[in-house]
Amino acid sequence: MLTLGVALAVHGFTTGNLGEGDNGPSTSSASLTTAVVGGGPVVNSSDLASPGLSPASRTIALTFDDGPSEYTTGVLDVLRRFHARATFFVVGKQVAEHTDIVRRMVADGNEVGVHSFTHPELGSVSAWREGLELDQTQQAIAGATGYTTNLLRLPYSSKVANLTPTELLALRRAGNYWAVFTDLDTKDWTRPGVPAIVAASVPQTGAGAIVMMHDGGGDRSQTVEALTVLIPKLQSRGYRFVTVSESVGLASPFRSAGVPSRLRGSVVIAAVRFGDLVAWLLSATMILVAALSVLRLLCLVLLARRHAHSRIDETADHLPTISVIVPAFNEEVGIAAAVKSVAASDYPRFEIVVVDDGSTDGTVAAVKSAEVPGLRLIRQENGGKPVALNTGIASSSGDVLVLMDGDTVFEPDTLRRLVQQLATPTVGAVSGNTKVGNRHGLLGRWQHIEYVIGFNLDRRMFDVLQCMPTIPGAIGAFRREVLEQVGGLSSDTLAEDTDLTMAICRAGWRVVYEPQAVAWTEAPAGLGQLWRQRYRWCFGTMQAMWKHRRAVFERGAAGKLGRRGLPYLLLFQVLLPLLAPFVDVAAIYSILFQNSGAIALTWASFLLLQFLAALYAFRLDRESPRVLWAIVTQQFVYRQLMYLVVIQSLTTATAGIRFGWHKLRRTGNLDAAPAPSTP
């Protein structure tokens, strides 16, 4: 990220968008001696009291500003065709991008002068900035040609008589340069047409002239075409087209650059090119991420709508026997509420099995104090959640196994709604709808929004595409025969729920989503706990994806998981979060160095799309949309936290580090959940 930031800072400086790059010159008159004002256009910046030098009669010194660019090649071709030479005042940034063109300028006998690095009005910047502008341009020229030059043209300058106070200040600070102004300013940058450019380039009869043109900074095709008319026209009148130095009788402006200067020049050139490359890659990345994100939102909404309109018959009364398995490790705070909520269910036939996995707090006492009739409590040494679940499954008798967490609260109709989907013979498991119970505070609201939009919309989409990758540990129903077929829960990954769901899909069963089977869960109450939870989820999901990677080549339900679900997880839960930091840096760069209004409009448009998708998701889940104001703040802390989790998880996985289970500290505060009643 530091390298990226440096590269973008270089790009911001070299594109002239940092500092005073877009400033125009002052229009007030300068304080110069009469000798200088009445002298020639080539001025010694170290002696501003002496008159400037004028070109000899019948000599034309064509000068070109703002290049090199793609049009410079055309200019050089015309000059070579008519055996003419010229002087090019180059922009350092352009030199770094077109070193081959600058080398050709020198090889063809033309002169090169400094025109600053980013084309600011040099008198409007600080002294150190002006020094940097001139020095970096010299280094770029040295890196490209092996020479330095003592010719200078100030950006935005024209005739000596029009020299402004800011330009005079810049000249005095520049040091030992021959500053080149002009006799004839063609104003070709306005693209007035070829005849107008030619007419503005013709001096008085017999007089010499320094003519200002441009080979960069825009479309210069008219300038190139005008040269094909101007040069032969004046050559037929006896004019010679020479360099600035030759026209005023100065020695060659070139000085051989030493090895250190050439090396520094090479570094400058490399830095500019690297910055340009990074900026281009970031722009492409932003476009790609934006396109994929919008496509994902559209798919989620459209498929969620299809899911909402393809509900099963809610009057069905599928009533298999159910065993509710509750693994518990140090769940003293919430376990009583969990088992009471299940016991208060309106379902006619079920049992509750709590497996205490070696708790060291008062979990066992809390279970007993709940006084739930028929509840069975199994105690074992700590072996982990998958082991505890398998113990409960083996000790239960129901045809359907409902697995829930010890911090979860069911609504009275949750069991009934959950198992209705199992009336379809091809359905092997059902995911319920997990809702955040402790949604007070900003962090709680962020997670509530994420659950409703991200998790539940995703599950609706996965249901329609028949590639459900995860049944959450908080609420899920499974046919007993399905769990026996896949061998129960595995400890191979940290996301045992994802691992199990993928195994069920690969066994040929369909996994569906029942949004009206609601379970209220306690989300992490602090950023540290949230980090540990999501780190485990993300790392475990990557493990499960790798474990079941062969599903990509399988058929049936397994193939749907492998060719629909796994690529979706890889793209939107791994790769895009990895690109998110670069997108953020690119957005900050664009705000600082480019059109911040356009960036703000783009961001606001994308946020509006998210908000509309969120409104639809909240409507489907019958949730109040009043909390959606937090979507805006979610973009600045929560989202960054989530993609940093992905980065750390991927780094851990790549390094082959074993990652242990993190137990979250429970508070028992489910402010949005219904209060469980005692049966």
At residue 66, what is the residue type? D
At residue 432, what is the residue type? G
DSSP 626: G
At residue 71, what is the residue type? Y
For residue 480, give the 3-state DSSP assignment: helix
**Residues near 462 by beta carbon (within 8 Å), at least 6 away in sequence:** 468, 469, 513, 565
Write the DSSP assignment of 20-54 as a string of letters: STTPPPP-SPP---HHHHTS-SEEETT-TTSPPB-
Please answer whether residues 422 and 477 qualify as being in contact, where contact means their C-beta atoms are separated by less than 8 angstroms: yes
Please answer whether residues 55 and 40 qualify as being in contact, where contact means their C-beta atoms are separated by less than 8 angstroms: yes
Q: Parallel, antiparallel, or unpaired for β 209-214 and 322-328?
A: unpaired
Q: Which of 214, 307, 448, 548 is catalytic?
A: 214
CA Rg value for the chain: 37
Q: Is 119 a catalytic residue?
A: no
Write the DSSP assignment of 525-566 as a string of letters: SSHHHHHHHHHHHHHHHHHHHHHTGGGGG--HHHHHIIIIIH
Question: What is the distance between the alpha carbons of residues 474 and 331, in angstroms, rounded to a whole number?
Answer: 14
Question: What is the distance between the alpha carbons of residues 475 and 481, in angstroms, rounded to a whole number?
Answer: 18
Please answer whether residues 85 and 237 qualify as being in contact, where contact means their C-beta atoms are separated by less than 8 angstroms: no
Please answer whether residues 341 and 402 qualify as being in contact, where contact means their C-beta atoms are separated by less than 8 angstroms: no
Please answer whether residues 498 and 544 qualify as being in contact, where contact means their C-beta atoms are separated by less than 8 angstroms: yes
Question: What is the distance between the alpha carbons of residues 570 and 583, in angstroms, rounded to a whole number?
Answer: 18
For the beta carbon of residue 1, count every other beta carbon within 10 angstroms: 9
Q: Is 219 a catalytic residue?
A: no
At residue 57, what is the residue type? S
At residue 324, what is the residue type? V
Q: Parallel, antiparallel, or unpaired for β 408-410 and 350-357?
A: unpaired
DSSP 374: T
DSSP 399: S
Please answer whether residues 87 and 129 qualify as being in contact, where contact means their C-beta atoms are separated by less than 8 angstroms: no
What six digits make up the tokens of 111?
A: 């002169």
Q: Which of 11, 65, 405, 448 is catalytic?
A: 65
> Sheet containing 350-357: which strands, arranged edge to edge?
376-380, 350-357, 322-328, 400-404, 475-479, 427-436, 510-521, 408-410
Question: What is the distance between the alpha carbons of residues 545 and 530, in angstroms, rounded to a whole number?
Answer: 22
Which whole-number Å values give the CA distances from 617 to 11, 202, 419, 609, in the listed order?
41, 71, 23, 12
Catalytic residues: 65, 214
